């Protein structure tokens, strides 16, 4: 997967890769999992993908980001992701933010904000000092997917 | 593994199970990993064990607690650990505390405090409201193991 963009913070590139993360979220939805997806991009290429599998794997740690972090490290042959960007459809939770800290990931781009469980409500900032982040990229679509999932579950 | 104790908060029982977690930490040490170990106890039985394997697995998420949480859920056939106690030789980091939140674990007992990366320095408390925790159980031994590991690495 390749996108020829001009800079790390290019909005079109971020939206392009967020759509890839959304594809993963739809795979979670098909499996009746909370529809959250993630990809990790390194040098303009998607090197890892993940979607939420907590029900299927019967494992609370099986969030999209956790699987993408592990897959990216496998791909790179090293556990640090300083040259990578993680795209995820929802703001990472505290667990995932803690994992992203350890990975020293260069950049995080997330879709919908999560005011209840998102990492940005905790202090001090749990991310690595070198990690940049931006939220709200395709935020409406990303958030609506999760909202609709839970609305249908409550019916 | 069984210990016939009188109450959930019995110090002798906590020390007994912390020694089991320390055994796991020594296994990590033998593998030249940061020596941190963990066990999960349910109804007076150790149902899961884990030790830090971040180097061997080339995976920042491979903390002792994360492996124990996954193993305990496998053992129980359910991903919630409300009736369980996690013993871990060091105060859980933000990632592990976030995972423990999702597991809704009943109780956490840790050895040495970790003022740099431990969860107790972040706000709001990242644990589940129903999770009790206590720190400092065999804290000196647990902490010294890690200190010595890093002292030798620096030599």
Nearest to A122 among B60, B74, B122 (CB): B122
Domain boundaries, chain A: 9-154
pLDDT digits 0-9 by tens, B60-77: 999 999 999 999 999 999
Among the four given CATH numbers 2.40.160.40, 3.40.140.10, 3.30.1330.40, 3.30.9.10, the one describing domain A9-154:
3.40.140.10
Are the C-beta atoms of B131 and B107 separated by less than 8 Å?
A: yes
CA dist B119 and B143 (Å) reads 16
- Is pLDDT of B145 > 60? yes
Q: Exposed/middle/buried for A34, CB within 10 Å: 0-12, 13-18, 19+?
A: buried
pLDDT digits 0-9 by tens, B4-52: 554 455 889 999 999 999 999 999 999 999 999 999 999 999 999 999 9
A93 is in an annotated binding site: yes
Q: Is A126 on the interface with B (CB under 8 A)?
A: yes
3-state secondary structure of A150: helix
Q: How far is CA B14 from CA A49, B108, B109, B135, B139, in A?
A: 40, 10, 7, 10, 12
**pTM score, whole prediction:** 0.93
CA-based nearest distance B6→chain A, Å: 31
Interface test with A, best of B60, B73, B120, B123 (most A CBs within 10 A): B60
pLDDT digits 0-9 by tens, A82-125: 999 999 999 999 999 999 999 999 999 999 999 999 999 999 99
Q: Is B124 on the interface with A (CB under 8 A)?
A: yes
ipTM for the complex shown: 0.92
- Which phi and psi (to 5°) does residue A4 adopt? -90, 90
């Amino acid at each position: 997967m390749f996108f020829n963009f001009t800079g790390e913070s290019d909005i079109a590139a971020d939206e392009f890769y967020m759509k890839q993360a959304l594809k993963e979220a739809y795979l979670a939805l098909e499996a009746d999992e909370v529809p959250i997806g993630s990809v990790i991009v390194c040098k303009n290429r998607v090197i890892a993908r993940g979607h939420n599998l907590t029900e299927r794997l019967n494992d609370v740690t099986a969030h999209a980001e956790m699987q993408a972090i592990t897959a990216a490290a496998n791909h790179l042959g090293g556990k640090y992701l300083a040259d990578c960007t993680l795209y995820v459809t929802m703001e990472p939770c505290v667990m995932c933010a803690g994992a992203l800290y350890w990975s020293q990931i260069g950049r995080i781009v997330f879709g919908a904000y999560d005011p209840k469980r998102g990492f940005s409500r905790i202090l001090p900032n749990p991310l690595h000092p070198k990690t940049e982040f931006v939220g709200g990229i395709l935020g409406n679509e990303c958030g609506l997917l999760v909202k609709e999932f839970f609305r249908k579950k409550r019916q």
